[in-house]
Amino acid sequence: MFTGIVTEVGEITAMCAVAQGQLHRLRITCRYDQTTIADGASIACNGVCLTVVGSGVADGLTWFEVDAAAETLGMTTARGWAVGTKLNLERALKIGDELGGHIVAGHADGIAKIRLRENFPDMAKFELEAPRELAKFIAPKGSVALDGVSLTVNTVQDVSFTVLIIPHTLAVTTLQGWQTGTEINIEVDQMARYAARLAEMK
């Protein structure tokens, strides 16, 4: 479980196909303390919860390895990740951690696409297009996780919605590189999902 508060930006430094191509093993370099990363730990990578299968230290930086399975490659932007790709990282919650964003499972629901970027002094406003089957879960002032970042929805119109990114978030995440056409992992708010399911059952 996560909160959508990014704690590090990592970089893919190696990748290869394993298990007859059904998995992609990724090596990600970051500044986490390697002694705190156990095999089997969960780390959200651009909003996708992945399991650590190994870690170490090289050239003064920590690296850890994860496997992206076929379903992950099919449903998320992981299919386009390559050596050099920067990823928003978040460690799994511990009991007693501050809940600074909203409850995020790390199970991306699909891919949204940037329709428009509008720049302001030190800030940026993005209009995104959500998959139609997910649009019903997105509401003004509600929460959404985009590439693992907890954000507040500003406006909604049909399958489009907007978010405003503050200077701090632009500075400490990969969102600064988003442009028109960029594909984004999206996870809708779990509360909205359960509310919609309850309404369907009435």
Amino acid 89: pLDDT: 98
Cα(44)–Cα(150) distance, integer angstroms:
12
Report the mean per-residue pLDDT for the chain.
93
Closest to 66 measured CA to CA, from 6, 23, 7: 23
pLDDT confidence tier of residue 25, bands split at 50, 70 and 90: very high
Cα(92)–Cα(48) distance, integer angstroms:
12
CATH class for the domain made up of 110-201:
mainly beta
CB count, 10 Å around CB of 197? 9
pLDDT confidence tier of residue 180, bands split at 50, 70 and 90: very high
Q: Does domain 8-91 have CATH number 3.40.50.1820?
A: no
Q: What is the mean pLDDT of residues 2-27?
A: 91
Residue linked to tokens 């994860």: 66
Task: Give how far Cα 46 sits from Cα of 16, 65, 95, 126, Å.
Answer: 19, 15, 23, 17
- Do the domains spanning 8-91 and 110-201 agree at the CATH topology level? yes
Amino acid 202: pLDDT: 66
Q: What is the mean pLDDT of residues 124-132?
A: 97
Give the start-to-end residue ranges of the domains of the chain. 8-91, 110-201
Q: What is the DSSP letter of 12?
A: E
Cα(110)–Cα(98) distance, integer angstroms:
27
Q: Please say if the pLDDT value at position 201 is more than 80.
A: no
Q: Are 163 and 152 in contact (CB under 8 A)?
A: yes
Q: What is the mean pLDDT of residues 6-33?
A: 92
Cα(87)–Cα(64) distance, integer angstroms:
13
Amino acid 94: pLDDT: 84
pLDDT tens readout for residues 85-125: 999 999 998 877 777 888 899 999 999 999 999 999 999 99
pLDDT tens readout for residues 37-64: 999 999 999 999 999 999 999 999 999 9
